[in-house]
Amino acid sequence: MVTDARREPTRAGTISATATIIRGEGPHPTAHGRVTTEGLGNLNPMPTLGQIGKKLGRLAVAEGPRLFRQLQRSGALDRVQEQIAARRAGTSTPAAPSGRPVTTTSAPTAARARRIEYAPALDGAADPGEIVWTWVAYEEDPSQGKDRPVLVVGRDGGTLLGLMLSSKNHDGDRDWLAVGSGPWDGQGRPSWLRLDRVLDVPEAGIRREGAIFPREKFDTVAARLKSDFSWH
């Protein structure tokens, strides 16, 4: 004879659960006294691979453009393209040159805000308005990088503050400014100047095969630094 568990002097939680089993509701006891969940209809089924794939697809459509823009701004896409081109050409990504300081750090442009003025002078020292070449390390792998032209916009002791130039097309990206072509590119390709990051360039590490940036273009750069990044 089965005793109604609601009469047993046990805890309320045990009484409720036992009574539920006796009334035929909830989990079912097996022949060995163990409780199974067979027959329960309120358990959420595991998602299938197809359902997971659809959710990931919707996420990619919703967030993909924003992530792509972030990769563009960081320069990561440029570096991937350069590495793919190097592999196809059978060459390796250049390593840091020995015996010469390299550019390994950068900062948000607003964090380096200061007075900016056009003052190029071919006196052996790099000045605002000049373009110099320096080896710039990749952010994700400082042991590798690339020689790049950099527009000098300021100085902090023996460290030059520079904005990176690139021949990769960045039309439509507010953090890059189209500056056209100039003697800094031997192939005469149009260039874009990155505005949102300032490179800390060791002056001892630059190559002086540079050029003087045109005054009217420098004024356009200075106007953007003042309006968008608190320079003055």
pTM for this model (two decimals): 0.61
Q: How far apart are CA 16 and CA 33, in angstroms?
A: 17
Tally helices (H) and strands (E) across the chain: 4, 10
Distances in Å between the alpha carbon of 147 and those of 95, 131, 199, 209?
A: 10, 13, 13, 12
pLDDT tens-digit profile of 106-115? 999 999 999 9
Residue 171 DSSP one-character state: T
Q: How many angstroms from the chain centroid is the CA of residue 225?
A: 21
Residues with pLDDT less than 70, the chain: 1-44, 67-100, 208-210
pLDDT tens-digit profile of 59-113? 777 777 776 666 655 555 565 555 565 556 555 555 555 556 778 889 999 999 9
Secondary element (H or E) of residue 211 = strand 206-212
Confidence (pLDDT) at 79: 57
Confidence (pLDDT) at 7: 46
Show me where the domains of the chain are located: 5-36, 105-229
Q: How far apart are CA 125 and CA 103, in angstroms?
A: 17
Q: Which CATH number fits domain 105-229: 2.30.30.110, 3.30.2270.10, 3.20.10.10, 2.60.40.10?
A: 2.30.30.110
